[in-house]
Structure 1
Amino acid sequence: MNNSTNRNLIGDRVRQARYKSKPKVTQTDLLARLAVRGIELEKTTISKIEAKTRSVTDIELVAIADSLGVSVLWLLNIE
């Protein structure tokens, strides 16, 4: 992994989880789900996370997993 370009491990999995949901979860939907959990992010943040150009805090990681109905380990591609 090239650390200068990849700033997180979960970008691909976030996109995959959004698309596999029925119905699909849009980036705006995910932002709203995170806001309900107290995580306020800028409109472009999900795109940046999925492009791996933005780091993700541990608190955001847990909230994103919960919002998408997946485990933190799945997002980290460990399980």
Structure 2
Amino acid sequence: MFKLKSSDGRNNLCGKNIKKIRLNIDPPLSQRKLAHKMQVMGYDLDNHVIRRIETGERFVTDIEIKAFAEALGVSYRAIIDGIDKQN
């Protein structure tokens, strides 16, 4: 069965960007703290899910992309493309 993958074989485009943004926040958020923040927002994600997303093992839904953008205080484009500027 054919599965869509990114050019580097990952199951998502956003995992690397989520990790980069999470670690560049001052102070940096751990995966556990990000998971807790998202749980308070009403999303059922734990730190193991975030690890699997960041390593590209897990697909990410559009609802989760929206939640990550909100939790991290960035745009959808920052999550997907790693760019947080409006063109």
Please give the TM-score of this superposition, normalised by the length of structure 2: 0.81
In 2, Cα distance between equivalents of 1:32 and 1:42: 7
**What whole-Å deviation, never above 9, does each CA across 1:45-77 have from its counterpart, x for those lacking one?**
111000011011111110011101111111111
**4+ residue runs over 3 A deviation:** none
- The one-letter code of the counterpart of 1:68 is L
Larger radius of gyration: 2
CA RMSD of aligned residues (A): 1.4
User: 2:21 matched to 1:36?
Assistant: no
Asked which structure has the greater RCO (Cα within 8 Å, sep 6+), the reply is 1
- Name stretches of at least 5 consecutive residues in structure 1 with no aligned partner: none
**What whole-Å deviation, never above 9, does each CA across 1:22-57 have from its counterpart, x for those lacking one?**
000110111011111211123311110000110111
Question: 1:60: which partner in 2?
Answer: 64
- Name stretches of at least 5 consecutive residues in structure 2 with no aligned partner: 1-6
In 2, Cα distance between equivalents of 1:57 and 1:73: 15
Please give the TM-score of this superposition, normalised by the length of structure 1: 0.88
